[in-house]
Amino acid sequence: MAAPRPRKPSDGLFWITGASSGIGRELALESVRRGWRVVATARRAEELEALAKASPVPGAIIPAPCDVTDETAMRALVTRIEAEHGVVARAFLNAGVFYPVEIEPFDTWKYHKSLAVNLGGVVNALGAIVPGMLARGGGQIAVNASVAGYTGMPTSAAYGATKAGLINMVESLKFDGDRRGILFQLVNPGFVETPATAQNSFEMPHLVKVDDAARRIADGLDDGRFEIFFPKRFAWQLKILALLPYRLYFWILKRSTGA
C-alpha cells in the first residue's frame, strides 16, 4: 500500500462541505485558482449557485446541496457526483454551527444541534467517501475543527465539545489512514472573520481575514502536514494553557476573559 500523499487536481475532485459561506466558500474559490474542480455542498442551494457563478474558472465549481445531518442523502450525493463528474480525491469537511451557551438557561437544543452538525455531519461525510478511497487505495481528508477544541473556554461548552471530539477522531483515524493510503489532516483555526464569528460580542484576539485563512488552509493541504493551525501565536498560547495544572489554567482564563 502506497504511503498517504497530498492529492493533486489530476487525481479527481475536491469536495468541500459547508461551502456556502465563510472558510468553505473562500477555500472553494482559492482551490479553483489552484487548478481544482470543486464540489460545493451546503444546505442553501441558492448560495451554492452564487458561488458557482463567482468561480474564477467557469464550470469549475459544482453545486451539490445536501444536509450533512442526513446520512442517507450524503451517501447518495457522493455516489451521484462520482458517477457524473469523477472520484473525490480530496475532501475538506467543514460544515458547522456555533452557538454560544451559558449554564442558565441550559439550552439542550444548542448542544444536540451542535453535535448533529459539527460531529455527526463529519461522520456522515466520512461514511460517504471513505469506502471509495479505500477501494482506490488512497485519498486525502481534512477536517475543520478549531483551537476551541484544545481547552474548555467560557460560553463554548457546546461548540468546543464538538471540536475536541473532531480533534480526537482525526488523530485516531490517522493510524488506519496511514496504513491504507488515506492522508488525514486536522485544521484548527483561531478566530476567522466569518458570519459565525460576527455574532461574537467580545474582542477576538488575532482575528484572521477569511481569504487569508483559505490560503493558509490550501497551503497546508498541498504540503500534507497533519495539523494546519493559525494564527500561530494565539494557537500556541492555547496549546500551552492546556498543559498547565487546572488551578493555574482556570485562574488565567478567568482573569483574561472575565468569566
CA angle in degrees (0–180, nearest 5) for 241-244-247:
110
- Mean pLDDT of all residues in the chain? 93
Given this model, what pLDDT does residue 256 score?
82
Q: List the domains of the chain with CATH numbers.
A: 10-257 (3.40.50.720)
Q: 171-197 pLDDT, tens per residue?
A: 999 999 999 999 999 999 987 776 665
> Which residues are registered as beta bridge partners of 195?
none
Residue 199 or 75, more confident: 75
**Greatest CA separation for the chain:** 56
Q: 9-66 pLDDT, tens per residue?
A: 999 999 999 999 999 999 999 999 999 999 999 999 999 999 999 999 999 999 999 9
Given this model, what pLDDT does residue 67 score?
98
Given this model, what pLDDT does residue 198 score?
52
Q: Are 142 and 167 in contact (CB under 8 A)?
A: no
Distance CA 140, CA 118 (A): 19
Q: 205-227 pLDDT, tens per residue?
A: 667 899 999 999 999 999 999 99
For residue 201, pLDDT over 60 is answered with no
